Each structure stands twice: as structure tokens, then as C-alpha cells.
Amino acid sequence: MSDDREFGERLGKWTEGLAKLEAKAKPRRRPPTLSGGEDVPTLYTHLDTADVDPLRDLGLPGEPPFTRGVQPNMFRGRLWTMRQYAGFGTARETNERSRYLLEQGQTGLSVAFDLPTQTGYDSDDPHAEGEVGRVGVAIDTIEDMEVLFDRIPLDKVTTSMTINSTAAVLLAMYVAVARRRGIDPLVLGGTIQNDVLKEYVARGTYIHPPRPSMRIITDIFAWCGKSVPKWNVISISGYHMREAGCSAEQQVAFTLADGLEYVKAANEAGLDVGR
């Protein structure tokens, strides 16, 4: 193993070589900087982490502060859920696609809903004309939901649903379908996006004003905690804001700000967020 002296000599030669290389290169129009504006060093080494306490600041895998993963052996012991975002046309068409993906080795479902479903319109509403089944599957009734998950074991497969303003409705349908099949909601696993704040910021598929929408979200938190405890009640997204034109730094900042607002709203509703 090399000592600090040997490393210092190698680093010095490397720095000299880099200086010669950069002298020949064209200057960048916008050099990389941190969010505070200061220059980003070309190289970081262990010397830059001298004040870091590995146990305090990094911890161990599977332990707080979880900087090294939420499981002790991470994906060596348990692979991530593999799910392809899919949804189009009718409930039957999307069901066929979902069952095909599961047959090919996919381990979970990720459902896309069309814009009328996302904004609370029935497919036969005049406002839905031209949008039914286009960017996701059209779901109008619980019967549609039954077809969507026909021959899919809801007690064994987790389902992610990209739905926000009407998340409570689609989740209620999902739970009702499970109950009709005799499946206890306590064993259901999955996720609803349920992130309405980014709809006001960038995407636009909101229905109610912000305050009532936040009340619906915290009501979902409370109900799921008691009735569907394995369900992930929110998935906060910043992707849409970046697509709408914000910078990478703004994307992270706005996403974290939204998350803080959800935590604040849950606390104000009397929920134990840390439990």
C-alpha cells in the first residue's frame, strides 16, 4: 500500500500533466461550479475527507443515516423490483401488456393512466375527447379496474400507480378489487405518486386548489397507515420541473421543498411521520 509521501509525489506529477493539458484546451464557456458559485475541483481524493468520521457520517449499510443503502447487503441479497412503465388504450389492452411483462420476468407493475383519468373526467365527457387512452390507460369504473388487473395476483405483485389528483379514487378502486377477490388489504403492496405540488409547479393535472389537495393527501396518509400499511403513500418527483425548464440545482431544491411541505402537512394533521 502506498504511503502519503508516494501519493503526494504522484499527485504532483498528475497536477503538472493536467496543467499542460488544460493549457492546450479551449476554455469552457461555463466552467463547472457548485450551487454556491465556487469552482468545482478537478479531482477529489481521500485528503479532502480528513474531517469525515466514517462511522458517524457514513454509517454502515442498512443502518442510519443510510448513506450506504437501506439493506445490509443491498442488492446482493435482494434485487430491486423491476417494473416497466406501461399503460395505453383500454383496460384489457393494458392488462395483456402487464401480464406479458410479468411472464418475461418483470417483478412488479407500473401503471400509466390517461389524462382524463388523471384529472377526474370520464372517457365519454366532451372535455376528454381526443385524449382517451393516449398517454395511459383509461379507467372510469371499478369494472375497468377489475379488467386492468385480471389474472394478476395482487397479493404477490406490487403495483406502482402514477396518479396524483385522483390518487385516492384509483387506490380505493384497487383495494376494492382486492377485496372482491378475497385478498386482505393488509397484504397489498405498491405505490401511488400522490405528489400534487409538482402539478401546480410544472405539469398541470390538478383538480382542486392547493390547500384542499394537501388535505386529501394527508387523509390518504392516515387511511393507508391503518388500512394498507405496506403501501407507499407518496412518491415525490422533480423530473417534471426539470422538463419544464428549471436547472438541475432547482430541480433538487424544489423536490426537497415539496417533500418538506408534505412532512409539515402530515405533522399538522397529527400524524407521526417518524414512525
Question: How far, CA to CA in Å, does 220 sit from each of 57, 167, 191?
Answer: 34, 9, 12
pLDDT tens, residue by residue, 203-232: 999 999 999 999 999 999 999 999 999 999
Question: Which neighbouring-strand residues pair with 274?
Answer: none
Neighbours of 244 (CB within 10 A): 13
* One-letter amino acid for residue 168 of the chain: A
Helix axes 210-227, 248-268, angle to 10 degrees: 70
C-alpha cell at 14: 498528475
pLDDT of 2 reads 60
Q: How far apart are CA 172 and CA 219, in angstroms?
A: 13
Return the minimum-mean-pLDDT range out of 22-36, 51-65, 201-215: 22-36
Model confidence over 64-100: pLDDT tens digits? Answer: 888 888 889 888 877 888 899 999 999 999 999 999 9
Q: How far is CA 115 from CA 123, 134, 206, 207, in A?
A: 10, 8, 11, 12
Average pLDDT of the segment spanning 8-26? 87
**For the chain, what is the mean pLDDT?**
92
Q: How confident is the model at residue 129 (pLDDT cuts 50, 70, 90)?
A: very high
pLDDT band at residue 169 under the 50/70/90 scheme = very high
**Global pTM?**
0.80
